[in-house]
A and B are shown apart, each in its own frame.
Chain A
Amino acid sequence: MSTHPPVSDPVAMVLSAIAEVAPELEPELADLDPDVDFWLELQLDSMDHLSIMTRLSEQTGRDIPERDYPRLTTVNSICSYLSGPGT
Protein backbone atom coordinates (compact mmCIF):
# COMPACT_ATOMS: atom_id res chain seq x y z
CA MET A 1 0.00 0.00 0.00
CA SER A 2 0.97 3.56 -0.33
CA THR A 3 2.82 5.55 2.24
CA HIS A 4 0.79 8.63 1.48
CA PRO A 5 -1.07 10.12 4.42
CA PRO A 6 -4.85 10.06 4.26
CA VAL A 7 -6.31 13.04 2.49
CA SER A 8 -7.99 15.35 4.93
CA ASP A 9 -10.10 17.24 2.45
CA PRO A 10 -10.68 15.14 -0.66
CA VAL A 11 -13.13 17.60 -2.22
CA ALA A 12 -10.56 20.38 -2.06
CA MET A 13 -7.95 18.06 -3.50
CA VAL A 14 -10.14 17.20 -6.51
CA LEU A 15 -11.06 20.84 -7.08
CA SER A 16 -7.47 21.96 -6.88
CA ALA A 17 -6.41 19.24 -9.33
CA ILE A 18 -9.00 20.57 -11.78
CA ALA A 19 -7.88 24.15 -11.18
CA GLU A 20 -4.25 23.29 -11.79
CA VAL A 21 -4.97 21.56 -15.07
CA ALA A 22 -7.56 24.09 -16.22
CA PRO A 23 -6.74 27.36 -14.45
CA GLU A 24 -9.26 29.30 -16.50
CA LEU A 25 -12.04 27.30 -14.85
CA GLU A 26 -11.12 28.28 -11.33
CA PRO A 27 -13.89 30.88 -10.97
CA GLU A 28 -16.50 28.27 -11.88
CA LEU A 29 -15.33 25.67 -9.44
CA ALA A 30 -16.81 27.34 -6.38
CA ASP A 31 -20.27 26.78 -7.80
CA LEU A 32 -19.64 23.30 -9.11
CA ASP A 33 -22.30 20.79 -8.09
CA PRO A 34 -20.34 17.86 -6.61
CA ASP A 35 -22.88 15.43 -8.06
CA VAL A 36 -22.83 16.62 -11.64
CA ASP A 37 -20.73 15.05 -14.39
CA PHE A 38 -18.10 17.76 -14.42
CA TRP A 39 -16.17 16.47 -17.43
CA LEU A 40 -19.12 17.47 -19.58
CA GLU A 41 -20.13 20.44 -17.48
CA LEU A 42 -16.67 22.02 -17.68
CA GLN A 43 -15.90 20.82 -21.22
CA LEU A 44 -12.79 18.99 -20.16
CA ASP A 45 -11.13 16.96 -22.89
CA SER A 46 -9.30 13.67 -22.77
CA MET A 47 -5.95 15.34 -22.16
CA ASP A 48 -7.37 17.32 -19.23
CA HIS A 49 -8.93 14.12 -17.95
CA LEU A 50 -5.64 12.26 -18.02
CA SER A 51 -3.79 15.17 -16.39
CA ILE A 52 -6.31 15.43 -13.57
CA MET A 53 -6.27 11.68 -12.95
CA THR A 54 -2.48 11.74 -12.97
CA ARG A 55 -2.43 14.47 -10.33
CA LEU A 56 -4.94 12.67 -8.12
CA SER A 57 -3.02 9.46 -8.47
CA GLU A 58 0.23 11.16 -7.50
CA GLN A 59 -1.33 12.89 -4.52
CA THR A 60 -3.02 9.83 -3.11
CA GLY A 61 -0.43 7.27 -4.17
CA ARG A 62 -3.19 5.21 -5.76
CA ASP A 63 -3.24 3.81 -9.21
CA ILE A 64 -6.40 4.71 -11.08
CA PRO A 65 -6.87 2.08 -13.79
CA GLU A 66 -8.59 3.16 -16.98
CA ARG A 67 -11.36 0.64 -16.41
CA ASP A 68 -12.47 2.71 -13.39
CA TYR A 69 -12.75 5.95 -15.33
CA PRO A 70 -16.43 5.52 -16.25
CA ARG A 71 -17.51 5.74 -12.62
CA LEU A 72 -15.32 8.73 -11.81
CA THR A 73 -17.50 11.42 -13.29
CA THR A 74 -18.42 13.64 -10.35
CA VAL A 75 -16.45 15.24 -7.54
CA ASN A 76 -18.27 13.11 -5.00
CA SER A 77 -17.77 9.85 -6.87
CA ILE A 78 -14.05 10.54 -7.18
CA CYS A 79 -13.82 11.37 -3.47
CA SER A 80 -15.53 8.19 -2.39
CA TYR A 81 -13.45 6.16 -4.85
CA LEU A 82 -10.22 7.61 -3.54
CA SER A 83 -11.16 7.09 0.08
CA GLY A 84 -12.37 3.55 -0.60
CA PRO A 85 -10.43 0.32 -0.20
CA GLY A 86 -8.90 0.39 -3.66
CA THR A 87 -9.16 -2.19 -6.36
Chain B
Amino acid sequence: MGDTATFEYRLPSLGADMDEGRVIEWRVAAGDTVHRGDLIAVVETEKSDIDIEIWHDGIVEEFLVDVGELIDVGTPIARLRRLGDDPVPRAQDSRDQEQPSESRGRVDVEGFTVVQGQGRVLASPLARRMAAERGLELASISGSGPGGAVVEADVLRAGAAQPSPPATQPPARSAATMRSAIAERMSRANREIPHYHLARDIDVGALKMWLDQRNAARSISERLLPAACYVRAVAVAAARHHDLNGFWIDDHFEPASAVNVAMIISLRRGGLVAPHIERADQRSVDEIMVALNELVTAARTGTLRGSWLTGSTITVTNLGDTGADLVHGVISPPQVALVGFGRALPRPWVVNELVTVRPVMTATLAADHRATDGAIGSRFLATIADELEHLTLLEQSERT
Protein backbone atom coordinates (compact mmCIF):
# COMPACT_ATOMS: atom_id res chain seq x y z
CA MET B 1 0.00 0.00 0.00
CA GLY B 2 2.91 2.34 0.58
CA ASP B 3 1.09 5.15 2.32
CA THR B 4 1.29 4.18 5.98
CA ALA B 5 -0.62 7.23 7.06
CA THR B 6 -3.80 5.74 5.70
CA PHE B 7 -5.51 2.38 5.98
CA GLU B 8 -8.34 0.67 4.27
CA TYR B 9 -11.39 -0.65 5.97
CA ARG B 10 -12.53 -3.85 4.33
CA LEU B 11 -15.90 -5.53 4.22
CA PRO B 12 -15.77 -7.91 7.19
CA SER B 13 -17.18 -11.40 7.12
CA LEU B 14 -20.26 -11.22 9.29
CA GLY B 15 -20.76 -14.90 9.70
CA ALA B 16 -19.16 -18.05 8.49
CA ASP B 17 -21.27 -18.30 5.39
CA MET B 18 -20.99 -14.73 4.22
CA ASP B 19 -18.98 -14.26 1.04
CA GLU B 20 -20.40 -11.01 -0.20
CA GLY B 21 -22.60 -8.14 0.80
CA ARG B 22 -23.49 -4.58 -0.03
CA VAL B 23 -23.23 -1.33 1.84
CA ILE B 24 -26.75 0.02 1.96
CA GLU B 25 -26.07 3.06 4.10
CA TRP B 26 -23.08 5.02 5.33
CA ARG B 27 -23.28 6.11 8.94
CA VAL B 28 -20.37 8.48 8.58
CA ALA B 29 -19.27 11.04 6.00
CA ALA B 30 -15.92 11.84 4.46
CA GLY B 31 -13.99 14.00 6.88
CA ASP B 32 -15.59 12.47 9.97
CA THR B 33 -13.33 11.32 12.77
CA VAL B 34 -14.25 7.82 13.87
CA HIS B 35 -13.19 5.83 16.88
CA ARG B 36 -12.82 2.16 17.50
CA GLY B 37 -16.29 0.72 17.93
CA ASP B 38 -18.14 3.40 15.99
CA LEU B 39 -20.77 2.20 13.57
CA ILE B 40 -19.73 3.21 10.13
CA ALA B 41 -22.11 1.51 7.75
CA VAL B 42 -25.08 -0.76 7.36
CA VAL B 43 -24.31 -3.86 5.37
CA GLU B 44 -26.89 -6.04 3.73
CA THR B 45 -26.05 -9.73 3.75
CA GLU B 46 -28.10 -12.65 2.59
CA LYS B 47 -29.38 -13.05 6.09
CA SER B 48 -30.00 -9.61 7.44
CA ASP B 49 -28.91 -6.01 7.58
CA ILE B 50 -26.07 -5.53 10.00
CA ASP B 51 -24.42 -2.48 11.52
CA ILE B 52 -20.67 -2.72 11.10
CA GLU B 53 -18.11 -1.13 13.36
CA ILE B 54 -14.63 0.20 12.76
CA TRP B 55 -11.81 -1.36 14.76
CA HIS B 56 -9.41 1.59 14.65
CA ASP B 57 -9.47 5.31 15.12
CA GLY B 58 -9.15 7.40 12.01
CA ILE B 59 -10.52 10.09 9.75
CA VAL B 60 -12.68 8.97 6.87
CA GLU B 61 -11.01 10.05 3.64
CA GLU B 62 -12.98 8.36 0.94
CA PHE B 63 -15.55 5.68 0.31
CA LEU B 64 -14.32 3.09 -2.14
CA VAL B 65 -17.58 1.39 -3.05
CA ASP B 66 -20.99 2.62 -4.03
CA VAL B 67 -24.06 2.17 -1.93
CA GLY B 68 -25.89 -0.91 -3.18
CA GLU B 69 -22.91 -2.36 -5.02
CA LEU B 70 -22.48 -6.12 -4.46
CA ILE B 71 -18.94 -6.74 -3.21
CA ASP B 72 -16.89 -9.64 -1.90
CA VAL B 73 -15.83 -9.97 1.71
CA GLY B 74 -12.42 -8.36 2.07
CA THR B 75 -13.06 -5.65 -0.51
CA PRO B 76 -11.77 -2.26 0.72
CA ILE B 77 -14.85 -0.13 1.29
CA ALA B 78 -13.33 3.00 2.78
CA ARG B 79 -9.94 4.63 3.16
CA LEU B 80 -9.13 6.32 6.45
CA ARG B 81 -6.30 8.47 7.70
CA ARG B 82 -4.73 7.34 10.93
CA LEU B 83 -5.05 9.39 14.05
CA GLY B 84 -1.91 10.29 16.00
CA ASP B 85 -0.81 7.29 18.04
CA ASP B 86 -3.35 4.75 16.97
CA PRO B 87 -1.63 1.37 16.83
CA VAL B 88 -0.98 0.21 13.31
CA PRO B 89 -4.00 -1.75 12.24
CA ARG B 90 -1.96 -4.43 10.57
CA ALA B 91 -4.58 -7.07 11.14
CA GLN B 92 -7.01 -5.25 8.94
CA ASP B 93 -4.43 -4.32 6.34
CA SER B 94 -2.56 -7.49 5.69
CA ARG B 95 -4.37 -10.50 7.00
CA ASP B 96 -7.44 -9.71 5.02
CA GLN B 97 -5.56 -9.89 1.80
CA GLU B 98 -3.64 -13.02 2.51
CA GLN B 99 -6.14 -15.22 4.22
CA PRO B 100 -9.65 -16.40 3.79
CA SER B 101 -12.05 -14.11 5.51
CA GLU B 102 -12.77 -16.53 8.33
CA SER B 103 -9.23 -16.24 9.61
CA ARG B 104 -9.94 -12.80 10.81
CA GLY B 105 -12.10 -14.27 13.52
CA ARG B 106 -9.09 -14.78 15.72
CA VAL B 107 -7.71 -11.33 15.18
CA ASP B 108 -11.00 -9.78 15.99
CA VAL B 109 -11.63 -11.75 19.13
CA GLU B 110 -9.92 -9.49 21.56
CA GLY B 111 -11.18 -6.22 22.79
CA PHE B 112 -14.58 -6.13 21.21
CA THR B 113 -16.92 -3.77 22.84
CA VAL B 114 -20.50 -3.51 21.88
CA VAL B 115 -21.15 0.15 21.57
CA GLN B 116 -24.46 1.74 22.19
CA GLY B 117 -25.82 4.48 20.02
CA GLN B 118 -23.82 7.64 20.25
CA GLY B 119 -26.12 10.55 20.10
CA ARG B 120 -27.71 8.93 17.12
CA VAL B 121 -31.26 7.60 17.18
CA LEU B 122 -31.00 3.87 17.78
CA ALA B 123 -32.93 2.08 15.10
CA SER B 124 -32.80 -1.13 13.16
CA PRO B 125 -31.64 -0.74 9.59
CA LEU B 126 -35.04 -1.89 8.41
CA ALA B 127 -36.82 0.65 10.58
CA ARG B 128 -34.46 3.33 9.34
CA ARG B 129 -35.24 2.53 5.76
CA MET B 130 -38.96 2.23 6.36
CA ALA B 131 -39.01 5.55 8.15
CA ALA B 132 -37.16 7.16 5.27
CA GLU B 133 -39.58 5.66 2.77
CA ARG B 134 -42.50 7.01 4.72
CA GLY B 135 -40.94 10.41 5.27
CA LEU B 136 -40.97 9.95 9.05
CA GLU B 137 -38.39 11.50 11.35
CA LEU B 138 -36.72 8.70 13.33
CA ALA B 139 -36.18 10.94 16.32
CA SER B 140 -39.91 11.53 16.57
CA ILE B 141 -40.69 7.83 16.88
CA SER B 142 -40.52 6.21 20.28
CA GLY B 143 -38.65 2.94 20.14
CA SER B 144 -39.71 -0.33 21.74
CA GLY B 145 -36.72 -2.39 20.64
CA PRO B 146 -33.54 -3.25 22.55
CA GLY B 147 -32.18 -0.20 24.35
CA GLY B 148 -35.13 1.83 23.11
CA ALA B 149 -34.20 1.23 19.49
CA VAL B 150 -36.81 2.05 16.91
CA VAL B 151 -37.93 -1.19 15.26
CA GLU B 152 -40.25 -1.74 12.36
CA ALA B 153 -43.32 -2.12 14.55
CA ASP B 154 -42.69 1.40 15.88
CA VAL B 155 -42.41 2.81 12.38
CA LEU B 156 -45.57 1.02 11.37
CA ARG B 157 -47.36 2.44 14.37
CA ALA B 158 -46.03 5.91 13.75
CA GLY B 159 -46.96 5.69 10.11
CA ALA B 160 -50.39 4.21 10.72
CA ALA B 161 -52.06 7.50 9.94
CA GLN B 162 -50.85 7.46 6.41
CA PRO B 163 -51.84 4.59 4.15
CA SER B 164 -48.86 2.53 3.07
CA PRO B 165 -48.38 -1.00 1.91
CA PRO B 166 -47.71 -3.37 4.79
CA ALA B 167 -43.96 -3.85 4.97
CA THR B 168 -43.83 -6.32 7.79
CA GLN B 169 -41.00 -8.41 6.44
CA PRO B 170 -37.44 -7.46 5.82
CA PRO B 171 -36.77 -6.89 2.14
CA ALA B 172 -37.15 -10.09 0.24
CA ARG B 173 -33.88 -11.91 0.20
CA SER B 174 -34.48 -14.88 -1.91
CA ALA B 175 -34.83 -17.98 0.20
CA ALA B 176 -32.97 -19.82 -2.55
CA THR B 177 -29.99 -17.48 -2.21
CA MET B 178 -29.75 -18.03 1.49
CA ARG B 179 -30.20 -21.74 1.04
CA SER B 180 -27.35 -21.90 -1.42
CA ALA B 181 -25.10 -19.88 0.90
CA ILE B 182 -25.78 -22.33 3.71
CA ALA B 183 -25.35 -25.26 1.35
CA GLU B 184 -21.96 -24.00 0.24
CA ARG B 185 -20.87 -23.40 3.79
CA MET B 186 -21.99 -26.69 5.21
CA SER B 187 -20.51 -28.58 2.25
CA ARG B 188 -17.20 -26.97 2.99
CA ALA B 189 -17.44 -27.85 6.67
CA ASN B 190 -18.19 -31.47 5.86
CA ARG B 191 -15.52 -31.63 3.18
CA GLU B 192 -12.73 -30.06 5.20
CA ILE B 193 -13.45 -30.92 8.81
CA PRO B 194 -13.04 -34.51 9.95
CA HIS B 195 -15.79 -34.43 12.56
CA TYR B 196 -16.03 -36.74 15.50
CA HIS B 197 -19.21 -36.92 17.53
CA LEU B 198 -19.72 -37.68 21.21
CA ALA B 199 -22.86 -37.77 23.30
CA ARG B 200 -23.55 -37.75 26.98
CA ASP B 201 -26.85 -38.13 28.83
CA ILE B 202 -27.24 -35.61 31.62
CA ASP B 203 -29.70 -35.77 34.50
CA VAL B 204 -31.22 -32.30 34.55
CA GLY B 205 -33.60 -32.97 37.46
CA ALA B 206 -31.64 -30.86 39.92
CA LEU B 207 -31.28 -28.10 37.34
CA LYS B 208 -35.00 -28.07 36.63
CA MET B 209 -35.82 -27.93 40.31
CA TRP B 210 -33.34 -25.12 40.85
CA LEU B 211 -34.80 -23.18 37.93
CA ASP B 212 -38.40 -23.76 39.07
CA GLN B 213 -37.69 -22.50 42.56
CA ARG B 214 -35.66 -19.60 41.38
CA ASN B 215 -38.18 -18.53 38.76
CA ALA B 216 -41.15 -18.89 41.08
CA ALA B 217 -39.56 -16.33 43.36
CA ARG B 218 -38.83 -13.87 40.61
CA SER B 219 -40.75 -11.51 38.43
CA ILE B 220 -41.31 -12.76 34.94
CA SER B 221 -38.74 -10.45 33.39
CA GLU B 222 -36.01 -11.96 35.56
CA ARG B 223 -36.75 -15.59 34.89
CA LEU B 224 -34.12 -17.91 33.53
CA LEU B 225 -34.36 -20.43 30.74
CA PRO B 226 -32.37 -23.67 30.68
CA ALA B 227 -30.57 -22.32 27.60
CA ALA B 228 -28.79 -19.73 29.76
CA CYS B 229 -27.54 -22.50 32.04
CA TYR B 230 -26.39 -24.55 29.06
CA VAL B 231 -24.45 -21.63 27.65
CA ARG B 232 -22.93 -20.99 31.06
CA ALA B 233 -21.85 -24.63 31.31
CA VAL B 234 -20.32 -24.56 27.82
CA ALA B 235 -18.47 -21.34 28.61
CA VAL B 236 -17.02 -22.85 31.77
CA ALA B 237 -16.01 -26.01 29.92
CA ALA B 238 -14.50 -24.04 27.03
CA ALA B 239 -12.44 -21.94 29.42
CA ARG B 240 -11.14 -25.11 31.05
CA HIS B 241 -10.52 -27.12 27.89
CA HIS B 242 -8.72 -24.64 25.66
CA ASP B 243 -8.25 -27.13 22.86
CA LEU B 244 -11.89 -26.88 21.88
CA ASN B 245 -12.13 -23.10 22.07
CA GLY B 246 -10.44 -21.53 19.07
CA PHE B 247 -9.76 -21.87 15.38
CA TRP B 248 -8.24 -24.24 12.86
CA ILE B 249 -6.22 -21.95 10.61
CA ASP B 250 -3.48 -22.84 8.14
CA ASP B 251 -3.15 -26.43 9.27
CA HIS B 252 -2.81 -25.74 12.94
CA PHE B 253 -4.98 -24.97 15.92
CA GLU B 254 -4.94 -21.49 17.39
CA PRO B 255 -6.54 -21.26 20.80
CA ALA B 256 -8.69 -18.19 21.33
CA SER B 257 -7.87 -15.81 24.12
CA ALA B 258 -11.52 -15.27 25.02
CA VAL B 259 -14.57 -17.49 25.25
CA ASN B 260 -17.19 -16.10 22.87
CA VAL B 261 -20.06 -18.56 22.79
CA ALA B 262 -22.23 -18.35 19.68
CA MET B 263 -25.83 -19.45 19.83
CA ILE B 264 -27.58 -20.74 16.73
CA ILE B 265 -30.86 -18.91 16.22
CA SER B 266 -33.08 -20.20 13.47
CA LEU B 267 -34.94 -17.57 11.52
CA ARG B 268 -38.51 -18.43 10.79
CA ARG B 269 -38.34 -16.91 7.35
CA GLY B 270 -35.56 -19.41 6.64
CA GLY B 271 -31.94 -19.95 7.49
CA LEU B 272 -30.10 -19.20 10.69
CA VAL B 273 -27.72 -16.81 12.39
CA ALA B 274 -25.20 -17.49 15.13
CA PRO B 275 -24.36 -14.35 17.10
CA HIS B 276 -22.18 -14.78 20.17
CA ILE B 277 -22.07 -13.77 23.78
CA GLU B 278 -18.71 -12.17 24.30
CA ARG B 279 -16.58 -13.53 27.14
CA ALA B 280 -19.40 -15.73 28.31
CA ASP B 281 -17.12 -17.42 30.83
CA GLN B 282 -16.86 -14.14 32.72
CA ARG B 283 -20.61 -13.77 33.04
CA SER B 284 -23.07 -15.08 35.59
CA VAL B 285 -26.02 -17.11 34.41
CA ASP B 286 -28.25 -14.07 34.90
CA GLU B 287 -26.01 -11.96 32.71
CA ILE B 288 -25.97 -14.68 30.08
CA MET B 289 -29.76 -14.76 30.14
CA VAL B 290 -29.90 -11.01 29.50
CA ALA B 291 -27.39 -11.34 26.68
CA LEU B 292 -29.26 -14.24 25.11
CA ASN B 293 -32.47 -12.29 25.18
CA GLU B 294 -30.70 -9.42 23.48
CA LEU B 295 -29.29 -11.65 20.74
CA VAL B 296 -32.57 -13.36 20.00
CA THR B 297 -34.43 -10.05 19.92
CA ALA B 298 -31.81 -8.58 17.59
CA ALA B 299 -31.94 -11.61 15.32
CA ARG B 300 -35.72 -11.41 15.13
CA THR B 301 -35.86 -7.68 14.52
CA GLY B 302 -32.88 -7.45 12.16
CA THR B 303 -30.72 -5.38 14.50
CA LEU B 304 -27.73 -7.68 14.84
CA ARG B 305 -24.36 -6.05 15.18
CA GLY B 306 -21.36 -7.14 13.20
CA SER B 307 -19.31 -7.60 16.36
CA TRP B 308 -21.75 -10.29 17.53
CA LEU B 309 -21.12 -12.29 14.39
CA THR B 310 -17.34 -12.19 14.12
CA GLY B 311 -14.95 -13.75 16.58
CA SER B 312 -17.14 -16.58 17.86
CA THR B 313 -14.92 -19.24 19.40
CA ILE B 314 -17.37 -22.10 19.98
CA THR B 315 -21.01 -22.63 19.05
CA VAL B 316 -24.05 -23.94 20.89
CA THR B 317 -27.23 -25.26 19.36
CA ASN B 318 -30.15 -25.79 21.69
CA LEU B 319 -33.00 -27.82 20.25
CA GLY B 320 -35.41 -26.86 23.01
CA ASP B 321 -38.25 -28.83 24.47
CA THR B 322 -40.11 -29.16 21.20
CA GLY B 323 -37.03 -30.21 19.29
CA ALA B 324 -35.35 -33.53 18.65
CA ASP B 325 -33.66 -35.71 21.26
CA LEU B 326 -30.13 -35.01 20.14
CA VAL B 327 -28.15 -33.37 17.37
CA HIS B 328 -24.98 -34.43 15.59
CA GLY B 329 -23.93 -30.96 14.57
CA VAL B 330 -21.82 -29.55 11.78
CA ILE B 331 -19.02 -27.29 12.95
CA SER B 332 -18.83 -23.75 11.63
CA PRO B 333 -15.26 -23.29 10.36
CA PRO B 334 -12.78 -22.08 11.46
CA GLN B 335 -14.16 -23.07 14.85
CA VAL B 336 -13.40 -26.57 16.05
CA ALA B 337 -16.39 -27.48 18.20
CA LEU B 338 -20.15 -27.32 18.31
CA VAL B 339 -22.13 -28.33 21.37
CA GLY B 340 -25.72 -29.52 20.98
CA PHE B 341 -28.44 -29.79 23.60
CA GLY B 342 -31.45 -31.99 22.94
CA ARG B 343 -34.81 -31.81 24.60
CA ALA B 344 -35.10 -32.91 28.20
CA LEU B 345 -37.43 -35.87 28.62
CA PRO B 346 -38.42 -38.09 31.55
CA ARG B 347 -36.37 -41.26 31.11
CA PRO B 348 -35.50 -44.29 33.20
CA TRP B 349 -32.30 -43.51 35.09
CA VAL B 350 -30.31 -45.46 37.62
CA VAL B 351 -29.63 -43.78 40.94
CA ASN B 352 -28.01 -45.78 43.74
CA GLU B 353 -28.64 -48.97 41.79
CA LEU B 354 -32.36 -48.31 41.58
CA VAL B 355 -34.17 -47.44 38.40
CA THR B 356 -36.00 -44.19 38.74
CA VAL B 357 -37.46 -41.61 36.36
CA ARG B 358 -35.50 -38.43 35.84
CA PRO B 359 -35.60 -35.65 33.26
CA VAL B 360 -32.64 -36.47 31.05
CA MET B 361 -31.11 -34.37 28.30
CA THR B 362 -28.55 -35.56 25.77
CA ALA B 363 -25.66 -33.20 25.20
CA THR B 364 -23.53 -33.78 22.13
CA LEU B 365 -20.21 -32.53 20.93
CA ALA B 366 -19.15 -32.27 17.31
CA ALA B 367 -15.43 -31.62 17.27
CA ASP B 368 -12.68 -31.23 14.70
CA HIS B 369 -10.47 -34.32 14.82
CA ARG B 370 -7.55 -32.36 13.41
CA ALA B 371 -7.53 -30.26 16.57
CA THR B 372 -8.51 -32.73 19.29
CA ASP B 373 -9.14 -36.38 20.00
CA GLY B 374 -12.09 -38.03 21.65
CA ALA B 375 -10.50 -38.12 25.08
CA ILE B 376 -10.46 -34.33 25.25
CA GLY B 377 -13.99 -34.17 23.90
CA SER B 378 -15.14 -36.63 26.55
CA ARG B 379 -13.62 -34.58 29.32
CA PHE B 380 -15.24 -31.48 27.88
CA LEU B 381 -18.69 -33.10 27.97
CA ALA B 382 -17.97 -34.41 31.47
CA THR B 383 -17.35 -30.85 32.63
CA ILE B 384 -20.66 -29.76 31.13
CA ALA B 385 -22.45 -32.67 32.79
CA ASP B 386 -20.84 -31.85 36.09
CA GLU B 387 -21.90 -28.22 35.87
CA LEU B 388 -25.48 -29.06 35.02
CA GLU B 389 -25.90 -31.95 37.46
CA HIS B 390 -24.22 -30.35 40.44
CA LEU B 391 -24.94 -26.69 39.69
CA THR B 392 -21.54 -25.82 41.05
CA LEU B 393 -20.91 -22.70 39.11
CA LEU B 394 -24.52 -21.73 38.65
CA GLU B 395 -24.85 -21.48 42.39
CA GLN B 396 -21.52 -19.77 42.72
CA SER B 397 -22.55 -17.14 40.25
CA GLU B 398 -25.69 -16.61 42.25
CA ARG B 399 -23.75 -15.85 45.40
CA THR B 400 -21.34 -13.47 43.78
Q: Which residues of A contact B (CB under 8 A)?
A: 19-27, 39-40, 42-43, 45-48, 50-51, 53-54, 57-58, 63-67
Q: Measured between alpha carbons, how far is A22 from B168 in the docked complex, in Å? A: 10
Q: In the complex, are the beta carbons of B153 and A20 less than 8 A apart?
A: yes
Task: Identify which of A42, A47, A58 contacts B225 (C-beta below 8 A).
Answer: A47
1/0 per residue B265-289: CB within 8 Å of A? 0011100000000000000000000
Task: Identify which of B166, B220, B322 contacts A63 (C-beta below 8 A).
Answer: B220
Number of residue pairs A-B, CB distance < 8 angstroms? 68
Q: In the complex, are the beta carbons of B215 and A27 less than 8 A apart?
A: no
Q: Which of the 9-residue segments B10-18, B104-112, B292-300 touches chain A?
A: B292-300
Q: Is B209 an interface residue (CB 8 A)?
A: no
Given A19-B153, A23-B152: A47 touches B220 (CB 8 Å cut-off) = no
Q: Measured between alpha carbons, how far is A30 from B296 in the docked complex, in Å? A: 24
Q: Which 4 A-B pairs have the closest CB atoms?
A: A26-B168, A47-B296, A57-B220, A24-B269
Task: Identify which of B215, B220, B321 contacts A46 (C-beta below 8 A).
Answer: B321
Q: Is B320 an interface residue (CB 8 A)?
A: yes
- Cβ contacts under 8 Å, B215 to chain A: 66
Q: Considering only CB atoms, which chain B residue lies closest to A25 in the complex?
A: B268
Q: Considering only CB atoms, which chain B residue lies closest to A16 in the complex?
A: B153
Q: In the complex, are the beta carbons of B320 and A64 less than 8 A apart?
A: no
Chain A nearest CB from B92 CB (Å) reads: 34
1/0 per residue B314-334: CB within 8 Å of A? 000000111000000000000
Q: Which residues of B contact A (CB under 8 A)?
A: 144, 151-153, 166, 168-170, 212, 215-216, 219-221, 223, 225-227, 267-269, 292-293, 296-297, 300-301, 320-322
Task: Identify which of B151, B169, B225, B269 contacts A50 (C-beta below 8 A).
Answer: B225
Q: Can you name 7 extra interface pairs (CB under 8 A) apart from A22-B268, A27-B169?
A: A23-B153, A23-B168, A24-B170, A24-B300, A46-B320, A54-B220, A57-B221
Residue of B168, B215, B226 with most partner-chain A CB within 10 A: B168
Q: In the complex, are the beta carbons of A63 and B297 less than 8 A apart?
A: no
Would you list 16 pairs from A and B whose C-beta atoms are within 8 A, ordered by A residue?
Answer: A20-B144, A20-B153, A23-B153, A23-B300, A25-B268, A26-B166, A26-B169, A27-B168, A39-B322, A40-B322, A46-B320, A47-B227, A47-B296, A54-B220, A54-B221, A63-B219
- Cβ contacts under 8 Å, A48 to chain B: 296, 300
Q: In the complex, are the beta carbons of A27 and B166 less than 8 A apart?
A: yes
Chain A nearest CB from B87 CB (Å) reads: 39
Given A20-B144, A23-B168: A47 touches B293 (CB 8 Å cut-off) = yes
Q: Measured between alpha carbons, how far is A67 from B320 in the docked complex, in Å? A: 18
Q: Considering only CB atoms, which chain A residue lies closest to B126 in the complex?
A: A23
- Cβ contacts under 8 Å, A57 to chain B: 219-221
Q: Measured between alpha carbons, how far is A62 from B115 in the docked complex, in Å? A: 34
Q: Measured between alpha carbons, how far is A81 from B144 in the docked complex, in Å? A: 26
Q: Measured between alpha carbons, how far is A43 from B152 in the docked complex, in Å? A: 21
Q: Measured between alpha carbons, how far is A47 from B227 in the docked complex, in Å? A: 9
Q: Considering only CB atoms, which chain B residue lies closest to A56 in the complex?
A: B220
Q: Measured between alpha carbons, how far is A85 from B296 in the docked complex, in Å? A: 33
Q: Considering only CB atoms, which chain A residue lies closest to B270 in the complex?
A: A24
Q: In the complex, are the beta carbons of A24 and B169 less than 8 A apart?
A: yes
Q: Measured between alpha carbons, how far is A67 from B208 in the docked complex, in Å? A: 13
- Cβ contacts under 8 Å, A63 to chain B: 219-220
Q: In the complex, are the beta carbons of A21 and B300 less than 8 A apart?
A: yes
- Cβ contacts under 8 Å, B153 to chain A: 19-20, 23
Q: Considering only CB atoms, which chain A residue lies closest to B269 in the complex?
A: A24
Q: Considering only CB atoms, which chain B residue lies closest to A58 in the complex?
A: B221
Q: Measured between alpha carbons, how far is A63 from B222 in the docked complex, in Å? A: 12
Given A20-B144, A24-B169, A47-B292: A66 touches B300 (CB 8 Å cut-off) = no
Chain A nearest CB from B287 CB (Å) reads: 16
Q: Measured between alpha carbons, how far is A43 from B144 in the docked complex, in Å? A: 23
Task: Identify which of A25, A26, A27, A51 contacts B293 (C-beta below 8 A).
Answer: A51
Given A23-B153, A47-B292, A50-B225: A65 touches B216 (CB 8 Å cut-off) = yes
- Cβ contacts under 8 Å, A65 to chain B: 216
